[in-house]
Chains A and B, each alone.
Chain A
Protein backbone atom coordinates (compact mmCIF):
# COMPACT_ATOMS: atom_id res chain seq x y z
CA UNK A 1 0.00 0.00 0.00
CA UNK A 2 2.73 2.48 0.91
CA UNK A 3 4.30 2.05 -2.56
CA UNK A 4 0.96 2.50 -4.27
CA UNK A 5 0.52 5.84 -2.52
CA UNK A 6 3.89 7.21 -3.62
CA UNK A 7 4.28 8.70 -7.06
CA UNK A 8 6.85 7.13 -9.31
CA UNK A 9 8.69 8.36 -12.36
CA UNK A 10 7.85 6.55 -15.57
CA UNK A 11 9.65 6.88 -18.88
CA UNK A 12 8.27 5.60 -22.15
CA UNK A 13 8.06 6.52 -25.81
CA UNK A 14 4.83 8.19 -26.86
CA UNK A 15 4.18 8.81 -30.55
CA UNK A 16 7.87 8.53 -31.31
CA UNK A 17 9.04 10.88 -28.59
CA UNK A 18 10.48 10.15 -25.19
CA UNK A 19 8.06 11.02 -22.39
CA UNK A 20 8.67 11.07 -18.65
CA UNK A 21 5.95 11.61 -16.11
CA UNK A 22 5.34 11.31 -12.39
CA UNK A 23 2.28 9.40 -11.30
CA UNK A 24 0.87 6.95 -8.83
CA UNK A 25 1.88 3.51 -10.06
CA UNK A 26 -1.75 2.42 -10.33
CA UNK A 27 -2.96 5.62 -12.00
CA UNK A 28 -4.66 4.82 -15.27
CA UNK A 29 -2.55 5.24 -18.38
CA UNK A 30 -5.66 6.91 -19.86
CA UNK A 31 -5.50 9.72 -17.29
CA UNK A 32 -1.76 10.16 -17.71
CA UNK A 33 -2.12 10.47 -21.47
CA UNK A 34 -5.01 12.90 -21.27
CA UNK A 35 -4.12 15.00 -18.26
CA UNK A 36 -0.33 15.02 -18.08
CA UNK A 37 0.66 14.54 -21.70
CA UNK A 38 -2.40 16.50 -22.97
CA UNK A 39 -3.18 13.83 -25.54
CA UNK A 40 -6.96 14.19 -25.34
CA UNK A 41 -7.64 12.26 -28.55
CA UNK A 42 -7.80 9.16 -26.36
CA UNK A 43 -11.32 9.06 -24.91
CA UNK A 44 -12.98 7.54 -21.87
CA UNK A 45 -16.23 5.75 -22.63
CA UNK A 46 -16.69 3.28 -19.81
CA UNK A 47 -13.58 2.99 -17.64
CA UNK A 48 -13.99 -0.78 -17.45
CA UNK A 49 -12.34 -2.03 -20.61
CA UNK A 50 -15.57 -2.70 -22.47
CA UNK A 51 -15.91 0.05 -25.03
CA UNK A 52 -12.44 0.58 -26.49
CA UNK A 53 -12.76 4.39 -26.76
CA UNK A 54 -9.48 4.62 -24.84
CA UNK A 55 -7.64 2.10 -27.03
CA UNK A 56 -3.96 2.86 -27.74
CA UNK A 57 -1.12 0.77 -29.08
CA UNK A 58 1.46 -0.36 -26.55
CA UNK A 59 4.47 -2.11 -28.03
CA UNK A 60 2.35 -2.83 -31.07
CA UNK A 61 -0.55 -4.37 -29.17
CA UNK A 62 -3.96 -2.70 -28.88
CA UNK A 63 -4.75 -2.06 -25.20
CA UNK A 64 -7.53 -0.30 -23.32
CA UNK A 65 -5.61 2.45 -21.58
CA UNK A 66 -8.26 2.68 -18.82
CA UNK A 67 -7.11 -0.75 -17.62
CA UNK A 68 -3.35 -0.18 -17.90
CA UNK A 69 -1.57 0.98 -14.73
CA UNK A 70 0.79 3.85 -15.44
CA UNK A 71 3.76 1.90 -14.08
CA UNK A 72 3.24 -0.71 -16.76
CA UNK A 73 4.06 1.90 -19.39
CA UNK A 74 7.68 2.00 -18.22
CA UNK A 75 9.98 1.31 -21.17
CA UNK A 76 7.17 0.75 -23.67
CA UNK A 77 6.37 2.34 -27.02
CA UNK A 78 2.91 3.89 -27.06
CA UNK A 79 0.99 5.21 -30.03
CA UNK A 80 -2.17 7.28 -29.70
CA UNK A 81 -4.42 8.79 -32.37
CA UNK A 82 -2.20 11.89 -32.31
CA UNK A 83 0.70 9.72 -33.49
CA UNK A 84 -1.13 8.48 -36.55
CA UNK A 85 -1.33 11.32 -38.99
CA UNK A 86 -1.63 15.05 -39.32
CA UNK A 87 -4.71 17.17 -39.44
CA UNK A 88 -4.59 18.06 -43.13
CA UNK A 89 -5.40 16.00 -46.19
CA UNK A 90 -1.73 15.51 -47.03
CA UNK A 91 -0.91 13.83 -43.79
CA UNK A 92 -4.09 11.93 -42.90
CA UNK A 93 -3.48 8.22 -42.47
CA UNK A 94 -5.18 6.04 -45.09
CA UNK A 95 -7.57 4.73 -42.43
CA UNK A 96 -8.46 8.25 -41.25
CA UNK A 97 -9.12 9.32 -44.83
CA UNK A 98 -11.30 6.27 -45.40
CA UNK A 99 -13.34 6.98 -42.25
CA UNK A 100 -13.86 10.53 -43.49
CA UNK A 101 -14.94 9.45 -46.97
CA UNK A 102 -17.13 6.50 -46.02
CA UNK A 103 -18.94 7.94 -43.02
CA UNK A 104 -17.10 5.81 -40.47
CA UNK A 105 -17.25 8.61 -37.91
CA UNK A 106 -20.51 10.06 -36.62
CA UNK A 107 -20.30 11.52 -33.12
CA UNK A 108 -16.57 10.83 -33.18
CA UNK A 109 -16.09 9.69 -29.60
CA UNK A 110 -15.28 6.07 -30.48
CA UNK A 111 -13.42 7.10 -33.62
CA UNK A 112 -9.83 7.46 -32.33
CA UNK A 113 -9.97 4.04 -30.66
CA UNK A 114 -11.77 2.51 -33.63
CA UNK A 115 -9.20 3.87 -36.08
CA UNK A 116 -6.32 2.58 -33.95
CA UNK A 117 -8.03 -0.81 -33.81
CA UNK A 118 -8.24 -0.84 -37.60
CA UNK A 119 -4.61 0.24 -37.98
CA UNK A 120 -3.59 -2.44 -35.51
CA UNK A 121 -5.60 -5.01 -37.45
CA UNK A 122 -3.78 -4.11 -40.68
CA UNK A 123 -0.44 -4.49 -38.93
CA UNK A 124 -1.41 -8.07 -38.10
CA UNK A 125 -3.49 -8.90 -41.18
CA UNK A 126 -2.76 -6.61 -44.15
CA UNK A 127 -5.72 -7.87 -46.21
CA UNK A 128 -8.40 -8.80 -43.65
CA UNK A 129 -11.61 -10.45 -44.78
CA UNK A 130 -15.06 -9.46 -43.45
CA UNK A 131 -14.94 -11.82 -40.50
CA UNK A 132 -11.44 -10.68 -39.56
CA UNK A 133 -12.57 -7.06 -39.76
CA UNK A 134 -15.50 -7.75 -37.46
CA UNK A 135 -13.27 -9.61 -35.01
CA UNK A 136 -10.57 -6.97 -35.20
CA UNK A 137 -13.05 -4.26 -34.17
CA UNK A 138 -15.02 -6.33 -31.68
CA UNK A 139 -13.44 -4.60 -28.69
CA UNK A 140 -14.54 -1.17 -29.84
CA UNK A 141 -18.15 -0.17 -29.33
CA UNK A 142 -19.92 2.35 -31.54
CA UNK A 143 -23.46 3.47 -30.72
CA UNK A 144 -23.99 5.69 -33.78
CA UNK A 145 -23.16 3.77 -36.92
CA UNK A 146 -24.29 0.20 -36.42
CA UNK A 147 -20.71 -0.48 -37.65
CA UNK A 148 -21.71 -0.74 -41.32
CA UNK A 149 -19.96 2.44 -42.40
CA UNK A 150 -17.00 1.51 -40.21
CA UNK A 151 -16.65 -1.81 -42.03
CA UNK A 152 -16.91 0.05 -45.33
CA UNK A 153 -14.20 2.46 -44.17
CA UNK A 154 -11.88 -0.41 -43.29
CA UNK A 155 -12.51 -2.14 -46.61
CA UNK A 156 -11.88 1.16 -48.37
CA UNK A 157 -8.62 1.59 -46.46
CA UNK A 158 -7.55 -1.90 -47.53
CA UNK A 159 -8.36 -1.00 -51.11
CA UNK A 160 -6.49 2.30 -50.91
CA UNK A 161 -3.44 0.82 -49.28
CA UNK A 162 -3.45 -1.80 -52.04
CA UNK A 163 -3.52 0.97 -54.61
CA UNK A 164 -0.71 2.80 -52.90
CA UNK A 165 1.42 -0.32 -52.93
CA UNK A 166 0.67 -0.93 -56.60
CA UNK A 167 1.62 2.62 -57.45
CA UNK A 168 4.87 2.47 -55.55
CA UNK A 169 5.68 -0.83 -57.24
CA UNK A 170 5.02 0.79 -60.61
CA UNK A 171 7.27 3.71 -59.75
CA UNK A 172 10.21 1.52 -58.80
Chain B
Protein backbone atom coordinates (compact mmCIF):
# COMPACT_ATOMS: atom_id res chain seq x y z
CA UNK B 1 0.00 0.00 0.00
CA UNK B 2 1.26 3.50 -0.83
CA UNK B 3 2.40 5.48 2.20
CA UNK B 4 1.46 9.18 2.50
CA UNK B 5 5.11 10.20 2.13
CA UNK B 6 5.36 8.18 -1.07
CA UNK B 7 2.25 9.84 -2.37
CA UNK B 8 3.77 13.24 -1.67
CA UNK B 9 6.92 12.46 -3.60
CA UNK B 10 4.90 10.78 -6.35
CA UNK B 11 2.73 13.87 -6.73
CA UNK B 12 5.77 16.10 -6.79
CA UNK B 13 7.38 13.94 -9.44
CA UNK B 14 4.31 13.66 -11.58
CA UNK B 15 3.10 16.99 -12.77
CA UNK B 16 1.51 15.44 -15.86
CA UNK B 17 -0.48 12.97 -13.78
CA UNK B 18 -2.07 15.90 -12.01
CA UNK B 19 -4.34 16.25 -15.02
CA UNK B 20 -6.67 13.41 -14.13
CA UNK B 21 -8.61 11.44 -16.67
CA UNK B 22 -12.34 10.88 -16.43
CA UNK B 23 -12.40 9.00 -13.12
CA UNK B 24 -16.17 8.45 -13.15
CA UNK B 25 -15.87 6.56 -16.43
CA UNK B 26 -13.10 4.45 -14.91
CA UNK B 27 -14.72 3.74 -11.54
CA UNK B 28 -14.30 0.30 -9.93
CA UNK B 29 -17.07 -1.72 -11.60
CA UNK B 30 -17.20 0.18 -14.92
CA UNK B 31 -17.19 -1.57 -18.28
CA UNK B 32 -14.33 0.66 -19.43
CA UNK B 33 -12.06 -0.37 -16.56
CA UNK B 34 -12.81 -4.06 -17.03
CA UNK B 35 -12.22 -3.90 -20.80
CA UNK B 36 -9.02 -1.85 -20.41
CA UNK B 37 -7.36 -4.00 -17.77
CA UNK B 38 -8.51 -7.29 -19.30
CA UNK B 39 -7.58 -6.10 -22.80
CA UNK B 40 -3.99 -5.19 -21.92
CA UNK B 41 -3.77 -8.34 -19.78
CA UNK B 42 -4.85 -10.49 -22.74
CA UNK B 43 -2.35 -8.81 -25.07
CA UNK B 44 0.43 -9.36 -22.52
CA UNK B 45 -0.58 -13.00 -22.01
CA UNK B 46 -0.75 -13.54 -25.78
CA UNK B 47 2.68 -11.98 -26.33
CA UNK B 48 4.34 -13.93 -23.52
CA UNK B 49 2.71 -17.11 -24.84
CA UNK B 50 3.99 -16.22 -28.34
CA UNK B 51 7.55 -15.70 -27.06
CA UNK B 52 7.50 -19.02 -25.17
CA UNK B 53 6.07 -20.71 -28.28
CA UNK B 54 8.72 -19.13 -30.54
CA UNK B 55 11.62 -20.15 -28.28
CA UNK B 56 10.56 -23.62 -27.12
CA UNK B 57 8.12 -24.99 -29.73
CA UNK B 58 8.28 -23.30 -33.14
CA UNK B 59 11.69 -24.38 -34.44
CA UNK B 60 11.59 -27.81 -32.82
CA UNK B 61 8.17 -28.39 -34.35
CA UNK B 62 9.36 -27.22 -37.80
CA UNK B 63 12.26 -29.68 -37.56
CA UNK B 64 9.82 -32.52 -36.73
CA UNK B 65 7.62 -31.59 -39.69
CA UNK B 66 10.67 -31.61 -41.98
CA UNK B 67 11.83 -34.98 -40.60
CA UNK B 68 8.44 -36.63 -41.07
CA UNK B 69 8.11 -35.21 -44.61
CA UNK B 70 11.58 -36.58 -45.42
CA UNK B 71 10.58 -39.95 -43.95
CA UNK B 72 7.42 -39.96 -46.09
CA UNK B 73 9.47 -39.22 -49.23
CA UNK B 74 11.92 -42.02 -48.33
CA UNK B 75 9.02 -44.43 -47.74
CA UNK B 76 7.55 -43.49 -51.12
CA UNK B 77 10.93 -44.10 -52.72
CA UNK B 78 11.06 -47.53 -51.05
CA UNK B 79 7.55 -48.29 -52.37
CA UNK B 80 6.02 -48.53 -48.86
CA UNK B 81 2.60 -46.81 -49.26
CA UNK B 82 1.47 -47.70 -45.72
CA UNK B 83 4.52 -46.02 -44.18
CA UNK B 84 3.88 -42.92 -46.32
CA UNK B 85 0.41 -42.63 -44.82
CA UNK B 86 1.77 -43.07 -41.29
CA UNK B 87 4.44 -40.40 -41.77
CA UNK B 88 1.91 -37.93 -43.18
CA UNK B 89 -0.33 -38.61 -40.20
CA UNK B 90 2.61 -37.58 -38.00
CA UNK B 91 3.12 -34.46 -40.14
CA UNK B 92 -0.55 -33.58 -39.72
CA UNK B 93 -0.24 -33.95 -35.95
CA UNK B 94 2.83 -31.69 -35.82
CA UNK B 95 1.13 -29.10 -38.04
CA UNK B 96 -2.00 -29.19 -35.87
CA UNK B 97 0.17 -28.68 -32.78
CA UNK B 98 1.80 -25.67 -34.41
CA UNK B 99 -1.42 -24.27 -35.88
CA UNK B 100 -3.39 -24.38 -32.63
CA UNK B 101 -0.58 -22.62 -30.75
CA UNK B 102 -0.32 -19.89 -33.38
CA UNK B 103 -4.11 -19.49 -33.23
CA UNK B 104 -4.01 -19.24 -29.42
CA UNK B 105 -1.36 -16.49 -29.63
CA UNK B 106 -3.15 -14.58 -32.39
CA UNK B 107 -6.66 -14.76 -30.95
CA UNK B 108 -5.63 -13.80 -27.41
CA UNK B 109 -3.92 -10.67 -28.74
CA UNK B 110 -6.68 -9.82 -31.23
CA UNK B 111 -9.34 -10.07 -28.52
CA UNK B 112 -7.18 -7.86 -26.32
CA UNK B 113 -7.19 -5.23 -29.08
CA UNK B 114 -10.94 -5.59 -29.46
CA UNK B 115 -11.43 -5.12 -25.70
CA UNK B 116 -9.26 -1.97 -25.73
CA UNK B 117 -11.18 -0.57 -28.69
CA UNK B 118 -14.50 -1.23 -27.05
CA UNK B 119 -13.18 0.43 -23.88
CA UNK B 120 -12.45 3.52 -25.95
CA UNK B 121 -15.80 3.35 -27.70
CA UNK B 122 -17.79 3.30 -24.44
CA UNK B 123 -18.94 6.96 -24.73
CA UNK B 124 -20.64 6.02 -28.01
CA UNK B 125 -22.48 3.02 -26.55
CA UNK B 126 -26.02 4.14 -25.77
CA UNK B 127 -26.75 1.40 -23.21
CA UNK B 128 -27.10 1.42 -19.42
CA UNK B 129 -23.84 0.89 -17.51
CA UNK B 130 -25.10 -2.43 -16.11
CA UNK B 131 -25.74 -3.76 -19.65
CA UNK B 132 -22.35 -2.53 -20.86
CA UNK B 133 -20.70 -4.28 -17.89
CA UNK B 134 -22.49 -7.55 -18.65
CA UNK B 135 -21.45 -7.31 -22.29
CA UNK B 136 -17.87 -6.64 -21.14
CA UNK B 137 -17.90 -9.77 -18.97
CA UNK B 138 -19.38 -11.79 -21.85
CA UNK B 139 -16.63 -10.56 -24.14
CA UNK B 140 -13.83 -11.22 -21.65
CA UNK B 141 -15.12 -14.74 -20.84
CA UNK B 142 -15.48 -15.58 -24.55
CA UNK B 143 -12.11 -14.04 -25.34
CA UNK B 144 -10.42 -16.31 -22.77
CA UNK B 145 -12.49 -19.40 -23.58
CA UNK B 146 -11.68 -19.40 -27.30
CA UNK B 147 -7.85 -19.38 -27.04
CA UNK B 148 -7.88 -21.86 -24.14
CA UNK B 149 -10.17 -24.15 -26.17
CA UNK B 150 -7.97 -23.81 -29.26
CA UNK B 151 -4.84 -24.56 -27.20
CA UNK B 152 -6.46 -27.75 -25.88
CA UNK B 153 -7.58 -29.05 -29.31
CA UNK B 154 -4.25 -30.81 -29.87
CA UNK B 155 -4.35 -32.50 -26.45
CA UNK B 156 -8.06 -33.33 -26.13
CA UNK B 157 -8.61 -34.46 -29.72
CA UNK B 158 -11.91 -36.28 -30.27
CA UNK B 159 -12.10 -37.81 -26.76
CA UNK B 160 -15.74 -38.27 -25.61
CA UNK B 161 -16.90 -36.04 -28.47
CA UNK B 162 -20.47 -36.50 -29.73
CA UNK B 163 -19.35 -35.35 -33.19
CA UNK B 164 -17.29 -37.15 -35.81
CA UNK B 165 -14.80 -34.43 -36.74
CA UNK B 166 -15.00 -31.82 -33.95
CA UNK B 167 -13.83 -32.44 -30.37
CA UNK B 168 -14.95 -30.85 -27.09
CA UNK B 169 -12.09 -28.36 -27.12
CA UNK B 170 -13.20 -27.13 -30.56
CA UNK B 171 -16.81 -26.92 -29.38
CA UNK B 172 -15.84 -24.75 -26.39
CA UNK B 173 -13.56 -22.64 -28.59
CA UNK B 174 -16.46 -22.03 -30.99
CA UNK B 175 -18.69 -21.19 -28.02
CA UNK B 176 -16.08 -18.62 -26.92
CA UNK B 177 -16.11 -17.13 -30.42
CA UNK B 178 -19.89 -16.94 -30.32
CA UNK B 179 -19.76 -15.12 -26.94
CA UNK B 180 -17.33 -12.54 -28.31
CA UNK B 181 -19.48 -12.13 -31.40
CA UNK B 182 -22.63 -11.66 -29.29
CA UNK B 183 -20.93 -9.05 -27.09
CA UNK B 184 -19.65 -7.16 -30.15
CA UNK B 185 -23.12 -7.22 -31.72
CA UNK B 186 -24.50 -5.89 -28.39
CA UNK B 187 -22.04 -3.00 -28.42
CA UNK B 188 -22.84 -2.30 -32.08
CA UNK B 189 -26.53 -2.11 -31.17
CA UNK B 190 -25.56 0.31 -28.38
CA UNK B 191 -23.54 2.48 -30.75
CA UNK B 192 -26.44 2.52 -33.24
CA UNK B 193 -28.78 3.45 -30.37
CA UNK B 194 -26.47 6.33 -29.41
CA UNK B 195 -26.43 7.75 -32.94
CA UNK B 196 -30.19 7.18 -33.41
CA UNK B 197 -30.99 9.02 -30.18
CA UNK B 198 -28.65 11.87 -31.21
CA UNK B 199 -27.24 11.90 -27.68
CA UNK B 200 -24.52 14.49 -27.08
CA UNK B 201 -21.07 12.98 -26.57
CA UNK B 202 -19.76 13.54 -23.04
CA UNK B 203 -16.24 15.00 -22.84
CA UNK B 204 -13.73 12.19 -22.64
CA UNK B 205 -10.19 12.84 -21.41
CA UNK B 206 -8.86 9.83 -23.29
CA UNK B 207 -9.83 11.27 -26.66
CA UNK B 208 -8.54 14.77 -25.90
CA UNK B 209 -5.02 13.85 -24.80
CA UNK B 210 -2.34 15.61 -26.87
CA UNK B 211 0.68 14.71 -24.69
CA UNK B 212 4.03 13.86 -26.31
CA UNK B 213 3.87 10.08 -25.64
CA UNK B 214 0.32 9.95 -27.00
CA UNK B 215 1.36 11.78 -30.17
CA UNK B 216 4.43 9.58 -30.63
CA UNK B 217 2.43 6.42 -30.21
CA UNK B 218 -0.39 7.57 -32.50
CA UNK B 219 1.81 8.74 -35.38
CA UNK B 220 4.45 6.05 -34.90
CA UNK B 221 1.76 3.36 -34.77
CA UNK B 222 0.11 4.57 -37.96
CA UNK B 223 3.49 4.69 -39.72
CA UNK B 224 4.20 1.11 -38.63
CA UNK B 225 0.81 0.02 -40.01
CA UNK B 226 1.44 1.82 -43.30
CA UNK B 227 4.87 0.17 -43.56
CA UNK B 228 3.22 -3.20 -42.91
CA UNK B 229 0.63 -2.60 -45.62
CA UNK B 230 3.29 -1.58 -48.14
CA UNK B 231 5.30 -4.68 -47.25
CA UNK B 232 2.15 -6.83 -47.54
CA UNK B 233 1.38 -5.38 -50.98
CA UNK B 234 4.95 -6.05 -52.07
CA UNK B 235 4.73 -9.62 -50.74
CA UNK B 236 1.40 -10.21 -52.53
CA UNK B 237 2.75 -8.79 -55.79
CA UNK B 238 6.21 -10.35 -55.81
CA UNK B 239 6.31 -13.41 -53.55
CA UNK B 240 2.83 -14.86 -52.94
CA UNK B 241 2.16 -16.49 -56.31
CA UNK B 242 5.82 -17.48 -56.70
CA UNK B 243 5.70 -19.18 -53.30
CA UNK B 244 2.44 -20.97 -54.12
CA UNK B 245 3.79 -22.17 -57.46
CA UNK B 246 7.06 -23.27 -55.84
CA UNK B 247 5.20 -25.16 -53.10
CA UNK B 248 3.43 -27.30 -55.69
CA UNK B 249 6.44 -27.64 -58.01
CA UNK B 250 8.82 -28.77 -55.25
CA UNK B 251 6.33 -31.31 -53.87
CA UNK B 252 5.66 -32.63 -57.39
CA UNK B 253 9.43 -32.95 -57.98
CA UNK B 254 9.82 -34.73 -54.65
CA UNK B 255 7.00 -37.13 -55.51
CA UNK B 256 8.40 -37.83 -58.99
CA UNK B 257 11.88 -38.36 -57.54
CA UNK B 258 10.43 -40.78 -54.98
CA UNK B 259 8.66 -42.71 -57.76
CA UNK B 260 11.91 -42.80 -59.75
CA UNK B 261 13.91 -43.68 -56.55
CA UNK B 262 16.16 -40.68 -57.23
CA UNK B 263 17.68 -40.06 -53.81
CA UNK B 264 19.69 -37.00 -54.80
CA UNK B 265 16.61 -35.26 -56.22
CA UNK B 266 14.59 -36.14 -53.08
CA UNK B 267 17.24 -34.55 -50.86
CA UNK B 268 17.47 -31.47 -53.04
CA UNK B 269 13.66 -31.07 -53.06
CA UNK B 270 13.53 -31.45 -49.27
CA UNK B 271 16.16 -28.75 -48.84
CA UNK B 272 14.34 -26.42 -51.26
CA UNK B 273 11.03 -27.08 -49.50
CA UNK B 274 12.55 -26.19 -46.11
CA UNK B 275 13.97 -22.95 -47.54
CA UNK B 276 10.63 -22.08 -49.11
CA UNK B 277 8.69 -22.64 -45.89
CA UNK B 278 11.22 -20.55 -43.95
CA UNK B 279 11.05 -17.71 -46.48
CA UNK B 280 7.24 -17.74 -46.40
CA UNK B 281 7.08 -17.87 -42.61
CA UNK B 282 9.42 -14.92 -41.97
CA UNK B 283 7.72 -12.68 -44.55
CA UNK B 284 4.22 -13.36 -43.24
CA UNK B 285 5.36 -13.03 -39.62
CA UNK B 286 7.06 -9.66 -40.34
CA UNK B 287 3.94 -8.37 -42.12
CA UNK B 288 1.58 -9.48 -39.34
CA UNK B 289 3.75 -8.28 -36.45
CA UNK B 290 4.50 -4.78 -37.74
CA UNK B 291 0.78 -4.12 -38.30
CA UNK B 292 -0.23 -5.59 -34.94
CA UNK B 293 2.38 -3.55 -33.09
CA UNK B 294 1.30 -0.43 -34.98
CA UNK B 295 -2.29 -0.98 -33.94
CA UNK B 296 -1.19 -1.62 -30.36
CA UNK B 297 0.81 1.63 -30.30
CA UNK B 298 -2.19 3.58 -31.63
CA UNK B 299 -4.50 2.05 -29.04
CA UNK B 300 -2.09 2.72 -26.20
CA UNK B 301 -1.82 6.36 -27.32
CA UNK B 302 -5.39 6.90 -26.12
CA UNK B 303 -4.83 5.28 -22.72
CA UNK B 304 -1.88 7.52 -21.79
CA UNK B 305 -4.01 9.73 -19.46
CA UNK B 306 -4.68 6.58 -17.38
CA UNK B 307 -0.96 5.67 -17.18
CA UNK B 308 0.08 7.07 -13.82
CA UNK B 309 3.80 7.45 -14.41
CA UNK B 310 5.82 10.63 -14.68
CA UNK B 311 5.94 12.27 -18.12
CA UNK B 312 9.60 11.36 -18.71
CA UNK B 313 8.94 7.66 -18.06
CA UNK B 314 5.79 7.72 -20.17
CA UNK B 315 7.93 9.05 -23.03
CA UNK B 316 10.62 6.46 -22.44
CA UNK B 317 8.15 3.58 -22.45
CA UNK B 318 6.48 4.92 -25.61
CA UNK B 319 9.88 5.07 -27.31
CA UNK B 320 10.79 1.57 -26.09
CA UNK B 321 7.50 0.20 -27.44
CA UNK B 322 8.01 1.81 -30.85
CA UNK B 323 11.65 0.65 -31.05
CA UNK B 324 10.70 -2.93 -30.17
CA UNK B 325 7.80 -2.80 -32.62
CA UNK B 326 10.18 -1.93 -35.46
CA UNK B 327 13.06 -4.14 -34.34
CA UNK B 328 11.09 -7.39 -34.19
CA UNK B 329 9.62 -7.44 -37.73
CA UNK B 330 12.80 -6.07 -39.36
CA UNK B 331 14.96 -8.72 -37.68
CA UNK B 332 12.41 -11.46 -38.41
CA UNK B 333 12.76 -10.54 -42.11
CA UNK B 334 16.54 -10.86 -41.79
CA UNK B 335 16.38 -14.31 -40.20
CA UNK B 336 16.76 -16.12 -43.53
CA UNK B 337 20.01 -14.24 -44.20
CA UNK B 338 21.55 -13.85 -40.75
CA UNK B 339 20.02 -16.83 -38.96
CA UNK B 340 19.98 -17.06 -35.19
CA UNK B 341 21.64 -13.65 -34.63
CA UNK B 342 18.72 -11.89 -36.30
CA UNK B 343 16.30 -14.24 -34.52
CA UNK B 344 17.82 -13.34 -31.16
CA UNK B 345 17.55 -9.60 -31.83
CA UNK B 346 13.95 -10.11 -32.97
CA UNK B 347 13.20 -11.83 -29.65
CA UNK B 348 14.79 -8.86 -27.88
CA UNK B 349 12.44 -6.57 -29.83
CA UNK B 350 9.49 -8.65 -28.64
CA UNK B 351 10.78 -8.41 -25.07
CA UNK B 352 11.00 -4.60 -25.33
CA UNK B 353 7.38 -4.45 -26.46
CA UNK B 354 6.30 -6.72 -23.58
CA UNK B 355 8.26 -4.64 -21.03
CA UNK B 356 6.80 -1.35 -22.29
CA UNK B 357 3.30 -2.78 -22.29
CA UNK B 358 3.76 -4.16 -18.79
CA UNK B 359 5.02 -0.77 -17.57
CA UNK B 360 1.96 0.97 -19.03
CA UNK B 361 -0.35 -1.65 -17.53
CA UNK B 362 1.25 -1.07 -14.11
CA UNK B 363 0.76 2.66 -14.64
CA UNK B 364 -2.94 2.08 -15.31
CA UNK B 365 -3.20 -0.18 -12.25
CA UNK B 366 -1.70 2.64 -10.17
CA UNK B 367 -4.36 4.95 -11.56
CA UNK B 368 -7.15 2.53 -10.64
CA UNK B 369 -5.62 2.19 -7.16
CA UNK B 370 -5.66 5.98 -6.79
CA UNK B 371 -9.34 6.14 -7.74
CA UNK B 372 -10.25 3.31 -5.39
CA UNK B 373 -8.32 4.91 -2.53
CA UNK B 374 -10.19 8.18 -3.03
CA UNK B 375 -12.47 9.01 -0.05
CA UNK B 376 -16.14 9.09 -0.96
CA UNK B 377 -16.37 12.82 -0.18
CA UNK B 378 -13.38 13.78 -2.34
CA UNK B 379 -13.93 16.10 -5.26
CA UNK B 380 -14.84 14.17 -8.38
CA UNK B 381 -12.12 13.58 -10.93
CA UNK B 382 -9.09 13.82 -8.66
CA UNK B 383 -7.44 10.57 -7.50
CA UNK B 384 -5.97 10.73 -3.99
CA UNK B 385 -2.45 9.96 -5.12
CA UNK B 386 -2.62 12.85 -7.53
CA UNK B 387 -4.26 15.35 -5.18
CA UNK B 388 -1.48 15.31 -2.61
Report if A and B associate in a common complex. no
Which A residues have a C-beta under 8 Å from some C-beta of B?
none
